Structure 1
Amino acid sequence: MLHHDICILGAGPGGATAALHLAHAGHRCLLLDRATFPRDKICGDALSGKVLSELRRISEELPGRLAAAPTQVPSWGIDFFAPNGRRLAIPFKPKFNKATDRAAGHVAKRLDFDNFLVEEVRRHPEIDFREHVDVARTERTPDGWQLFDKAGQELATCRLLLVANGAQSDFARKVAGHALEPDHHCAGLRTYYDNVAGLSPDNFIELHFIKDFLPGYLWVFPLPNGQANVGVGMLSKTVAAKKINLRQRLDEILATHPTLAPRFAQARRLGPVRGFGLPLGSKRRPLSGANYLLLGDAGSLIDPFSGEGISHAMVSGRHAAHWAAQAVTTADCSPAFLKNYDQAVYNRLGQELRLSRVMQRLLNFPSLFNIVANRAANNPTLAETLSAMFMDLDLRERLRQPRFYFRLLFGGK
């Protein structure tokens, strides 16, 4: 039986980030994951500038090491396709030079990116990392938590539990009370293709807002070796209300859409279409309680407009490490003290999540969405705002300024 002050469930981006920050601060922790790495994770696979910023906070070397990996491609921006077909190209960096600039984003399969982080975890003796350990049940103790396997055998005890075991987390639902709410949950599908025509030479990721598929969207993200991650996402509430078969709609769009069908005519699907659910950050939920913190998808922190979750998981992992270290150092793992973690995470992400919720609602009004897309082409403030949602251009200060909204609506600098 193992005892640690801090135990982390899940070695994805949130859990791995927390463990690495704890290790750098000299704190030991136990990191458990039911999988054996490398393992697949259903995702869009895009790594935004915010991911690179969080990697840099772990180690200055990590962004360069990622950029040198053959398992990724550098991405220089986003192509938004409005319902009227208007393409809005948003470079991550205006007037970028691929020969001299560092890429502001990347695309890499989660199989590879999560393993990239896990390999960094393995380098730190302060992290007791154990794979293929399935924590089936948790139980409160007077001073922390007990962890049990399916057979009822005790695996470990800890004073503070960092829960980073994903969107399907039993702990988040049963202990923390994060019920699945269809209005704050996205259903998604992902598959891989090769030989997709017309991918951006600068590896811009594509988000297609197709009129008869709104309020859902379709994405095409370029990958190494000529492959692409292709998928669709839509609010679970809409899927249920309209009885939408997402797999059927994905096939129909790729076969019949006037722009996409020619690009997929010679493409080949690689493997199955796999489904997943995303608990969205469009509703503010508690992220902590008695001797526990929720990280990433387990904390329902996914961006409600873009579906991005990796950077938000890493942000929450960084703050979780800080407040976990404070909690065990001061011997205060009370709900009142751990609320500091909630405040830190929402101070960083809250206003961006609210802005994304507004943009998500915009998908219900195709004509208004078209106006925004048309205006953004001639409105540097709006174009920059769309870009900043995927970058680490901190929006918080601008979102507090009334003149920002005037420029957003009416243009100007």
Structure 2
Amino acid sequence: MPRIVVLGAGPAGCSAGYHLAKSGHQVTLIDKATFPRDKICGDGISFESVQALFTLGIYPQDIKCLAQYAPVCGLRLGVSNGNEHMQTTQLEGYCIPRFELDNLLYQHAVEAGCIPQTQTITDLARSHPDLYHDYDHIIDARGVYAGEANAIAIRAYWSVKVEDFPEPYCSKAHIYFDPKLGVNGYGWLFPVTVKDGLIKLNVGVILWLDEYQKLNTNIIRLFDQFVQKNETTKALLSKLVSQQKPRAYPLTTAKRDNRVSDGKVLKIGDAANLTDPLTGEGIANALLSGLQVAQAINMSVMPAAAAENWQRLYQIHFEPDFQAGLWLKSLRKSFLANQLLISLMKRNHWVAERVMYAVAGLIPYSEFVPSLRY
């Protein structure tokens, strides 16, 4: 059996470790921190992410045992202080703080048979040549700092009294386009949990670096401008029971001509730039890349073939949707495109539903535009 090490125990690394251990491999799972540990994130678990969790034996009943989580059953999409549309669904996604989610995934990976270690791994080739000697496969799941950052986000946690947050909004993912965030950037407000009469909210903004660099300002100022201008967040400011200082973090969204393997090193999740190029959501692709890289190793007769097979599986399962997403992103030349999208959703229930499911990952971007013809 090949010797396997997984670097990083976030969603991608735990997924790879889980599936490989379940396949009978001896897997060393290394992370720089002990669990449970927090990670800055939007905390959204899309419908596609929920399905991906099933592959690790994690089901809704497991999620509902967590100390912090909130069901998400729809989308409120709008322009700050302007046009908006709210779409509901019988499907259920979630918002789960990474402190909770990553610890749950880590426990499943260790219970599956992964051997846990705590160590900081930086420059692989230069600082850790022993890994190349000791292992046949090095699965790089070290996250955004091992990938190529091309977006930036910032989030804060707010708490308000339940009665101060309208009930219809409590189970919706709120996404707002704002011209100050560029054509593709947006702000969000996600419910995290309801406890002791308080609702905890994840509030943030995301921008792509090519647009952010043209704005000649910083991400904290843009966050402040968004929450003070947006009608929903502005109304909450005077009702806050508590708030945490906003924290910024980079993202590695999809890019063209992507290589996910290099000799023994097989990149997955954020380390491989597998985050959605339109929404910035990365959990689903992280989990699924862990499954697919395990398949690549399991299907390879010789260890040397695993890298080629993982690159091939990436091109089959991920690349078409990423290319379609990047193409859709390129079509949004002006902020008017966002306003037209929302207006179209308000007039046509079918379009509104398709948009919501595309955002949630249930409809691939490669099928999204053709599906609107029917």
- When the two structures are superposed, what TM-score results if normalisation uses the length of structure 1? 0.81
Structure 1, unpaired ranges of 5+: 97-102, 149-155, 173-177
- Report SS of the residue matched to 2:94: strand
Query: What is the identity, as a one-letter code, of the residue corresponding to 1:194?
Result: S
2:157 is matched with: 192
Q: Relative to structure 1, is the Cα distance of residues 239 and 157 closer, same or farther in structure 2, using a 3 angstrom cutoff?
A: same
How far apart in 1 are the matches of 2:193 and 2:47? 19
Maintained 8 Å contact 2:137/2:303:
no
Aligned pair partner of 1:146 in 122, 126, 130: 130
Answering whether residue 8 of structure 2 is matched by residue 21 of structure 1, we say no
Aligned pair partner of 1:297 in 247, 270, 273: 270
Answering whether residue 214 of structure 2 is matched by residue 241 of structure 1, we say yes
Query: Shift of the alpha carbon at 1:359?
Result: 4.3
Q: Deviations over 1:273-304 (max 9, x none)?
A: 11111111142411012012101000011112
Aligned pair partner of 1:69 in 66, 69, 80: 66
- When the two structures are superposed, what TM-score results if normalisation uses the length of structure 2? 0.89
Q: Relative to structure 1, is the Cα distance of residues 64 and 345 closer, same or farther in structure 2, using a 3 angstrom cutoff?
A: farther
Q: Relative to structure 1, is the Cα distance of residues 350 and 389 closer, same or farther in structure 2, using a 3 angstrom cutoff?
A: farther
1:204 is matched with: 172
Q: Deviations over 1:157-184 (max 9, x none)?
A: 2111000000002xx5xxxxx5x5xxxx
Aligned pair partner of 2:297 in 301, 306, 324: 324
Percent of aligned pairs with the same amino acid? 22
RMSD of equivalent CA atoms = 2.6
Q: Deviations over 1:200-221 (max 9, x none)?
A: 4451111110233332211111
Q: How does 1:178-327 map to 2 (within 5 A)?
A: 178=148, 180=149, 185-195=150-160, 197-198=164-165, 200-215=168-183, 216-225=185-194, 226-327=199-300
Query: Shift of the alpha carbon at 1:145?
Result: 5.7
How far apart in 2 are the matches of 1:339 and 1:380? 44
Answering whether residue 99 of structure 2 is matched by residue 111 of structure 1, we say yes
Number of equivalences: 365
Q: Deviations over 1:341-370 (max 9, x none)?
A: 123233223333234334434554122221
Of stretches 29-38 and 69-78 in structure 1, the one that deviates more from structure 2 is: 69-78
Maintained 8 Å contact 1:297/1:309:
yes
Query: What is the identity, as a one-letter code, of the residue corresponding to 1:198?
Result: F
Q: Relative to structure 1, is the Cα distance of residues 202 and 254 closer, same or farther in structure 2, using a 3 angstrom cutoff?
A: closer
Structure 2, unpaired ranges of 5+: none
Answering whether residue 350 of structure 2 is matched by residue 374 of structure 1, we say no
Query: Shift of the alpha carbon at 1:397?
Result: 7.5
Query: Shift of the alpha carbon at 1:257?
Result: 3.4
2:121 is matched with: 135
1:151 is matched with: none
Q: Deviations over 1:67-96 (max 9, x none)?
A: 3323211110111113672222233x3xx3
Aligned pair partner of 2:76 in 79, 91, 103: 79
Q: Relative to structure 1, is the Cα distance of residues 83 and 255 closer, same or farther in structure 2, using a 3 angstrom cutoff?
A: closer
- Report SS of the residue matched to 2:356: helix
Q: How does 1:335-374 map to 2 (within 5 A)?
A: 337-361=306-330, 363-374=332-343
Query: What is the identity, as a one-letter code, of the residue corresponding to 2:21?
Result: A
Query: Shift of the alpha carbon at 1:381?
Result: 4.3
